[in-house]
């Protein structure tokens, strides 16, 4: 397969990688993740925004492999908690914390919250980095409510606590196709797909 048609997804999260592959549905492209290519470096996501963190990941991986990179950063935003967990969503309960501990901490902090106070949204910035300092981004967002207990066994992260009112289900109760059709990540990656398609068409000329 031509080098230009190899793209790296800057993630080790196989659940996220599966979602990205399904959303982009790229043909004749070898989409590899960090586990596939043996990338073991730690990436310090110290940005102040989702876009900054996505760019940090993409630049770091691109320097290592010199291949176009797809990255994203996403998180849960709860206005009642002044925007927490935000860019710290994956490490809300501390470095190395798993989904269960992060979810438990969120529920504890919302223990006395009622009604609109439990309103939240998932936000995602997807980024396609295809040359030194050259990249495109797209954003996605989905509104919801934080439940009082986990529901559903699909998805990952805060999905079991994130209730989507117009569907009457949490994200973790949706099928992959249902989730991708309405999710923040789905919207963001559909947004950058046009840039990826344009890049692939150009390198194949």
Position 4 scores a pLDDT of 46
Q: What is the pLDDT along the chain (205 residues), one digit of tens a residue?
A: 444 489 999 999 888 899 899 999 998 899 999 999 999 998 988 899 999 999 999 999 999 999 999 999 999 999 999 999 999 998 999 988 899 999 999 999 999 999 999 999 999 999 999 999 999 999 999 999 999 999 999 888 999 999 999 999 999 999 988 998 999 999 999 999 999 999 999 887 6
Position 176 scores a pLDDT of 87
The domain limits of the chain are: 3-203
Position 60 scores a pLDDT of 97
* 107 closest CA partner among 124, 122, 85: 85
Position 15 scores a pLDDT of 84
User: Is 98 exposed, middle or buried (CB count within 10 Å of its CB: 0-12, 13-18, 19+)?
Assistant: exposed
Position 12 scores a pLDDT of 92
Q: Which CATH class is domain 3-203?
A: alpha beta
Which residues are catalytically annotated? Answer: 73
pTM over the 0.75 mark: yes
- Interacting residues of 116 by C-beta distance below 8 A, sequence separation 6+: none
């Amino acid at each position: 397969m031509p080098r230009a048609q190899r793209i790296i997804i800057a993630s080790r999260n196989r659940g996220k990688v599966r979602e990205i592959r399904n959303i982009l549905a790229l043909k004749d492209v070898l989409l590899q993740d960090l586990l596939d290519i043996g990338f073991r470096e730690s990436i310090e996501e110290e940005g102040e925004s989702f876009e900054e963190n996505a760019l940090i990941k993409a630049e770091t991986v691109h320097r290592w492999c010199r291949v176009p990179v797809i990255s994203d950063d996403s998180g849960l935003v709860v206005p009642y908690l002044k925007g927490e967990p935000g860019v710290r969503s994956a490490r809300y309960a501390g470095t190395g914390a798993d989904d269960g501990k992060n979810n438990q901490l969120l529920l504890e902090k919302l223990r006395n919250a009622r009604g609109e106070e439990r309103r939240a949204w998932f936000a995602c910035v997807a980024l396609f980095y295809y040359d030194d300092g050259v990249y495109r981004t797209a954003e996605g967002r989905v509104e919801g409510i934080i439940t009082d207990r986990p529901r559903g066994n699909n998805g990952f992260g805060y999905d079991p606590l994130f209730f989507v009112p117009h569907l009457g289900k949490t994200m973790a109760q949706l099928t992959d196709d249902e989730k991708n059709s309405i999710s923040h990540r789905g919207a963001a990656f559909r947004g950058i797909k046009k840039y990826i398609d344009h890049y692939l068409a150009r390198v194949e000329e």
